[in-house]
């Protein structure tokens, strides 16, 4: 029995610059100290270093941080495959927290599961790195929409 | 046809103080500028004011902020109904982003849908407030676990 | 503070006939004995009567039945608001099972939460009816896609 | 950087018989014609052959069938690792439909992602098999609860 799979196909040769510029415009990622640590066609890794400002009540990483980097990593994994002139929009995601997000760093690794014309499905795992050893602390599944004719820029002023 | 419903029952007369103290220990909520704006048995509202540090690439609130306050509001809605000596743990959630999180403020309102001995199910809506008018920008459904014999404190050092 | 809400707007005066015909083409609904019990613009109710063929290992309704009627009710709630010539596609959903699906009947009630041009978000509750009394046994949140230029018909042969 | 992982550990030497007997009690699986096609510690595969009774409006497999076998496969993947005297309960799941469920057979393959004392997290992929070639048509993430002191039997009469 053979398995057919759609390979990740890049539609814009400038995808890497486009993704990095968009990431640079996310005020929250900068504020959390998150870093774009890995980028390949259909894949993205975002890391964040532990500090008190990112904690929940027990002193571990807050689920909001875990989810935020999984969300951004998924969006950018999808964005690597989109043509120019498109913008990326998170439609929804689901995340399971499977172990305490405890350690000196979190790393979210997202990959495109299915890339359609309008919708892209991504899976992401978040790893807690403690004393150099990784443990999966969350796993997520998300739906991302390609918005045609809406370039990713800062014209959209809030407020 | 009558509808049977389980009313929200408080198990700890000190629930409000307990919830507020736990919220106060969440470094991330403080860092985001989030405020515990409403608290009733089985219900919780958390608000956050717009600023550049909380944005995604278009200048709106980042989905990570939307999700973080929905997540905390859901956890604390569940926590209002738990007995003393218990801690609250987010098992998983799913969130749909239904409109741009655009405006001067976000408000997450969570309520307990079903309160079991071990698991509590919460629903939350997040509203974007723009020029004083509210629009639902996200809706979430989450599963929360009651952890017996694990008081909500800061003994659990990270790292 | 006022709340702005998008009302459910019908785009096709023949929506009811269109929805009923599509429901009639779902072999699975017929096989499960499911019935289209209520239909309004943006809302749909599907019911199914208990029998041994629909059970899980303890003799209650199988989660697959609960989910199937929640899924179809959500799709058809969305479909009531779509223009002619469109087809409806379930992108994803999440369902929480909050009580045993125990009783003589299940009723899934879905409603449109947000209706966009491409995507519609629906919420659904499933009620178990036992001795005439209803209890919520599941709650779901789903994303539905409108497929332009793909009429809802049986030309799409399987296999 | 090393990765720590919890291996799937069997707690009951009779797990296979226990799982097969439980599957045999699911009236819905029999009614759908579903078959337990593969079983390993922490893994389960369920298959179902196409027929008109399992269709949605376009003649493909209904999402309810896709979800039902993903749900049962996930529950039984989790059940393989549970001790005797326990019962398995689906808390919730999320499923993304990533391609039409079109073909002569569906196969749901589930695996335990994280096995805890109370909760188990499973991932499942559903493949549509058409002319002998497999395509992923759905992917799911679910939370399953171990119910102590509630053996998996048919004493629980419905109605």
pLDDT of D50 above 50 = yes
pLDDT of D1 above 50 = no
Cβ-nearest to D114 among A98, A123, A127: A98
Domain CATH code at residue A98? 3.10.129.10
pLDDT of residue C142: 98
Would you state the structure tokens that stand for residue C81, as one six-digit string?
């608001």
Least confident among A37-46, B130-139, C1-10, D107-116? C1-10
pLDDT of residue A153: 73
Return mean pLDDT, chain D. 91
Is residue B4 less than 8 Å (CB to CB) from chain C? yes
Q: Could you tell me which residues come within 8 angstroms of residue D1 by beta carbon, excluding any fewer than 6 positions away?
A: A129, A132, A133, A134
pLDDT of residue D125: 98
Reported ipTM: the value is 0.92
Number of domains in chain A: 1
pLDDT of residue A91: 97
H-only helix segments in chain C: 15-24, 27-32, 63-79
Radius of gyration of chain B (CA): 16
What's the domain range around A64?
15-147
Confidence of residue D5 (pLDDT cuts 50, 70, 90): very low
Answer whether C152's CB lies under 8 Å from C87's CB. Answer: yes
pLDDT of residue A1: 41
Give the single-character DSSP code of C6: P
pLDDT of residue B3: 42
pLDDT of C77 above 50 = yes
Name the residue among C5, C7, C70 with its Cα closest to residue C41.
Answer: C7
- Which helix (H) or strand (E) covers residue D44, if one does? strand D43-49
- Say which residue, C124 or D159, is predicted with more confidence: C124
Question: Is B91 in Cβ contact with D91 (below 8 Å)?
Answer: yes
CA-to-CA distance for C12 and C111, rounded, in angstroms? 18
Cβ-nearest to D94 among A3, A94, A133: A94
Inside any domain, residue A66: yes
Would you state the structure tokens that stand for residue D38, as one six-digit string?
């593969």
pLDDT of C156 above 80 = no
Question: Is C130 in Cβ contact with D156 (below 8 Å)?
Answer: no
pLDDT in tens, D18-38: 999 999 999 999 999 999 999
Q: Is C131 left (phi over 0), alpha (psi -120 to 50) or beta?
A: left
Cβ-nearest to C2 among B113, B133, B143: B133
Inside any domain, residue D153: no
Residue pairs spanning B and C at CB distance below 8 A: 68
Give percent of chain D with pLDDT exceeding 70. Answer: 91
pLDDT of residue A149: 80
Inside any domain, residue C158: no
CA-to-CA distance for A138 and B159, rounded, in angstroms? 18
CA-to-CA distance for D113 and D143, rounded, in angstroms? 10
pLDDT in tens, A32-42: 999 999 999 99
pLDDT of residue C18: 94
Answer whether B140's CB lies under 8 Å from B124's CB. Answer: yes
pLDDT in tens, A86-145: 999 999 999 999 999 999 999 999 999 999 999 999 999 999 999 999 999 999 999 999
Tell me the nearest-neighbour CA distance from C23 into chain B, angstroms.
26
Is residue A145 less than 8 Å (CB to CB) from chain C? yes
User: What residue in C sits closest to D23 (Cα-Cα)?
Assistant: C57
Question: Is D134 in Cβ contact with A1 (below 8 Å)?
Answer: yes
Report the interhelical angle of D63-79 vs C63-79 (nearest 10°). 150
Which residues are paired to A110 by β-bridges? Answer: A44, A124
Tell me the nearest-neighbour CA distance from B117 into chain D, angstroms.
12
Inside any domain, residue C7: no
Would you state the structure tokens that stand for residue D23, as one six-digit string?
């599957």
- Say which residue, A3 or D100, is predicted with more confidence: D100
CA-to-CA distance for A108 and A127, rounded, in angstroms? 6
Answer whether C148's CB lies under 8 Å from C117's CB. Answer: no
Confidence of residue D48 (pLDDT cuts 50, 70, 90): very high
Question: Is D91 in Cβ contact with C93 (below 8 Å)?
Answer: no
CA-to-CA distance for C139 and A92, rounded, in angstroms? 17
pLDDT of residue A158: 56
CA-to-CA distance for B129 and B136, rounded, in angstroms? 9
Inside any domain, residue A84: yes
DSSP B75-125: HHHHHTTSPTT-EEEEEEEEEEE-S---SSEEEEEEEEEEE-SSEEEEEEE
Give the 3-state secondary structure of residue C139: strand
User: What residue in A sits closest to B62 (Cα-Cα)?
Assistant: A28
Is residue A102 less than 8 Å (CB to CB) from chain D? no
Is residue A148 less than 8 Å (CB to CB) from chain C? no
pLDDT of D41 above 80 = yes
Cβ-nearest to A118 among C92, C94, C118: C118
CA-to-CA distance for C96 and C117, rounded, in angstroms? 27
Compute the average pLDDT of residues C46-59. Answer: 96
Name the residue among C159, C45, C152, C54 with its Cα closest to residue C107.
Answer: C45
Q: Which residues of B13-32 are buried (b: 16+ CB within 10 A; e: fewer)?
A: eebeebbeebbebbbbbebb
Give pLDDT tens digits along chain B (159 positions): 444 445 568 889 999 999 999 999 999 999 999 999 999 999 999 999 999 999 999 999 999 999 999 999 999 999 999 999 999 999 999 999 999 999 999 999 999 999 999 999 999 999 999 999 999 999 999 999 999 887 777 654 454
* Residues of chain C neighbouring A91 (CB-CB closer than 8 A): 91, 119, 143
Would you state the structure tokens that stand for residue A111, as one six-digit string?
């990959």
Is residue B68 less than 8 Å (CB to CB) from chain A? yes
Burial of A43 (0-12, 13-18, 19+ CB in 10 A): middle
Answer whether A105's CB lies under 8 Å from A64's CB. Answer: no
pLDDT of residue B1: 41
All partners of chain D with 3 or more CB pairs under 8 angstroms: A, B, C
User: What residue in D sits closest to A114 (Cα-Cα)?
Assistant: D98
User: Considering only residues 70 to 99 of chain C, which have any Cβ-Cβ distance to chain D shorter than 8 Å?
Assistant: 71-72, 87, 89-97
Q: Which residues of B111-130 are buried (b: 16+ CB within 10 A; e: fewer)?
A: bbbbbeeebbbbbbbbbbbb
pLDDT of residue D3: 42
Return mean pLDDT, chain C. 92
Distance (Å) of CA B97 to CA A13, B128, C21, C121: 30, 11, 31, 9
CA-to-CA distance for B57 and A18, rounded, in angstroms? 12
SS3 content of chain B, % helix, strand, coil (to 5): 25, 40, 35
Answer whether A52's CB lies under 8 Å from A104's CB. Answer: no
Inside any domain, residue D8: no
All partners of chain B with 3 or more CB pairs under 8 angstroms: A, C, D
Question: Is A141 in Cβ contact with D141 (below 8 Å)?
Answer: yes
Cβ-nearest to D92 among B118, B143, B145: B143
Question: Is A145 in Cβ contact with C91 (below 8 Å)?
Answer: no
Confidence of residue A9 (pLDDT cuts 50, 70, 90): confident
Report the interhelical angle of D15-24 vs D63-79 (nearest 10°). 150
pLDDT in tens, A43-89: 999 999 999 999 999 999 999 999 999 999 999 999 999 999 999 99
Query: What's CA C88's distance to the chain center, in Å?
Result: 11
* Residues of chain A neighbouring B29 (CB-CB closer than 8 A): 62
Inside any domain, residue B75: yes
CA-to-CA distance for A142 and B95, rounded, in angstroms? 10
Confidence of residue C17 (pLDDT cuts 50, 70, 90): very high
Phi then psi for residue B71, to 5 deg, are -65, -50
Q: Could you tell me which residues come within 8 angstroms of residue B68 by beta carbon, excluding any fewer than 6 positions away?
A: A62, A63, A64, A65, A67, A68, B28, B29, B32, B34
Question: Is C1 in Cβ contact with B132 (below 8 Å)?
Answer: yes
CA-to-CA distance for A32 and A11, rounded, in angstroms? 31
Name the residue among A109, A100, A103, A88 with its Cα closest to residue A38.
Answer: A109
Inside any domain, residue B153: no
């Amino acid at each position: 029995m053979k398995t057919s799979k759609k390979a990740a196909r890049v539609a814009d040769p400038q995808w890497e610059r486009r993704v990095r510029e968009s990431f640079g415009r996310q005020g929250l990622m900068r504020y959390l100290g998150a870093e774009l640590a890995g980028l390949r066609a259909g894949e993205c890794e975002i890391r964040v270093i532990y500090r008190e400002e990112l904690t929940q009540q027990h002193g571990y990483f807050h689920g909001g941080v875990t989810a935020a980097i999984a969300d951004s990593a998924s969006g950018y994994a999808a964005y690597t495959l989109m043509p120019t002139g498109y913008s990326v929009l998170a439609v929804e995601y689901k995340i399971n927290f499977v172990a305490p997000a405890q350690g000196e760093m979190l790393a979210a690794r997202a990959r495109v599961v299915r890339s359609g014309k309008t919708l892209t499905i991504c899976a992401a795992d978040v790893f807690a790195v403690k004393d150099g050893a990784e443990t999966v602390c969350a796993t997520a599944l998300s739906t991302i929409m390609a918005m045609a004719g809406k370039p990713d820029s800062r014209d959209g002023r809030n407020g």
